[in-house]
Amino acid sequence: MAPSLVPWENSPSHVTLAKSQVHLWRFRLDLLAAEAAGLQRLLSRDELARAERLLDPAKAHHFVVARGRLRQVLSRYLDHPPEELSFAYGAHGKPRLVGAAGEALQFNLSHAGCWGLLAVASGVDIGVDVEKIDLGLDCENIATRFFSAEETAQLMRYHVTHRRRGFYRLWTRKEAWLKGQGCGFSVSATVMTDAKWWIRSFTVDRDYPGAFATAGRVTSVHRWHFV
């Protein structure tokens, strides 16, 4: 039986994470410049360089906030200053903590629109995705380009009035699953036939669907709103 999802709760200052638990953290990206500047001081040189390469100021702002919040959240598990955390990256850019204290801590970050989303687990690979529903997106055309045949068929089984939300449900689940494996987006890969991964959809906020995928059994899911 799948564990129930508790409502989003204000986050504690220190968090403990047991095996088979998943913690989901949401946070706003649209912070005032002064607060974002405080988060910017937590970032490493390579993170700052990545932000500078983003030509869109809004995207650079959101990147800084997301990486700053990532550091702040992980520091609550590790009792370690956020600015001193170090990361290494896989072939497709998935980060992991460097250092013995964080070896068992697995995490994944996503952001869209004004929301950031972080998933944390212990000892198992995890991926997460959040998307903002775009009423102008040609979902069926995107599906034919990026979905497998099985996923496209599942999308078309949704009534036309629910197909857009069905598209985002399928997209976030696939994206979370691929990110959990540290893979790039693959048209041929299909989450529907992978019994090794446990995948759960949920709502981050109105018009912001999300999903996480973990390579192991989940007994409880906690949802924190970063404060």
For the chain, give every domain's residue range.
9-225
Query: Looking at 123-166, which runs of residues are DSSP E strands?
Result: 126-130
> Which residues are 224's β-sheet partners?
9, 25
The superfamily CATH assigns to domain 9-225 is 4'-phosphopantetheinyl transferase domain (3.90.470.20)
Helix count (H) and strand count (E) of the chain? Answer: 6, 10
The 10s digit of each residue's pLDDT in 94-149 is 889 998 667 789 999 999 999 999 999 998 999 999 999 999 999 999 999 999 88
Indicate the pTM of the whole model. 0.93
DSSP string for 192-204: GG-TTSEEEEEEE
What local confidence, expressed as pLDDT, does residue 99 receive?
81
